[in-house]
Amino acid sequence: MDLKDALPINKWGKNIKKPFVIAGPCSAETPEQLLSTALELKKLNVDALRAGIWKPRTRPNGFEGMGIEALKWVKDVKAESGLPFATEVGSALHVEVALKYGCDILWIGARTTVNPFSVQEIADSLKGVDIPVLVKNPMNPDINLWIGALERIHNAGISKVGAIHRGFSSFEKTKFRNTPNWQIPFELKRQFPDLALLCDPSHIGGTRDLIFDISQRALDFDYDGLIIESHINPDEAWSDASQQVTPARLAEILSELKYKTESSDNVEFISQLEQLRNKINNIDKDLIDTLAQRMIISEKIGEYKKVNSVTTYQNDRWIEIFNTRKEWARKLNVSEEFVADIFKLVHEESVRKQEEIINNEITKA
- Contacting residues toward ligand PEP, per CB under 6 A: 26, 52, 56, 88, 109-111, 136, 166, 200, 203
Cα 16 from Cα 10, distance rounded (Å) = 5
225-229 and 161-165 beta bridge pairing? unpaired
Q: Find the residue with minimal CB distance to ligand PEP.
A: 109
| Residue 201 CA: distances (Å) to CA of 151, 212, 311, 325, 357 | 24, 8, 48, 35, 48
Query: Are residues 226 and 185 in contact, defined by beta-carbon separation less than 8 angstroms?
Result: no
40 contact, one of Mn ion, ligand PEP, none, CB 5-8 Å limit per kind: none
Q: Judged by CB, which is closer to ligand PEP: 107, or 343?
A: 107
Minimum separation from the CB atom of position 178 to ligand PEP (A): 8
In the complex with ligand PEP, the residue whose CB is nearer, 19 or 201, is 201
What is the rounded CA–CA span in Å between residue 31 and residue 37? 10
Q: Rounded to a whole number, what is the largest CA-CA distance in the chain?
A: 82
- Burial label, 361 (beta-carbon count in 10 A; 0-12, 13-18, 19+): exposed
Please tell me whether residue 270 adopts helix, strand or coil conformation: helix
Residue 151 or 200: the one with the smaller Cβ distance to ligand PEP is 200
Min dist CB 26 to ligand PEP, Å, is 5
Taking CB under 5 A as the binding criterion, the range among 217-225, 240-248, 253-261, 270-278 that sits at the site for Mn ion is 240-248
Residues 3-42 binding Mn ion (CB under 5 A) are 26
Q: Does 240 bind Mn ion (CB under 5 A)?
A: yes
Instruction: Rule CB under 5 A: say whether 200 interacts with Mn ion.
Output: no
Question: Which one of ligand PEP, Mn ion, none is in contact with 65 (Cβ closer than 5 to 8 A by kind)?
Answer: none
Indicate which of ligand PEP, Mn ion, none lies near residue 90 (CB less than 5 to 8 Å, by partner kind): none
84 touches, from ligand PEP, Mn ion, none (C-beta below 5 to 8 Å by class): none
Q: Based on the number of CB atoms within 10 Å of its own CB, is 221 exposed (0-12), middle (13-18) or buried (19 or more)?
A: middle
Contacts of 3 (CB under 8 A, 6+ apart): 147, 150, 151, 154, 161, 192, 195
State how far the alpha carbon of 187 is from the alpha carbons of 30, 144, 147, 223, in Å.
40, 10, 11, 13
Is 166 or 326 the residue whose CB approaches ligand PEP more closely? 166
Is 111 or 217 the residue whose CB approaches Mn ion more closely? 111
Count residues binding Mn ion (CB under 5 A): 2
Residue 302 Cβ vs ligand PEP, minimum distance, rounded to whole Å: 47
Q: Which residues bind Mn ion (CB under 5 A)?
A: 26, 240
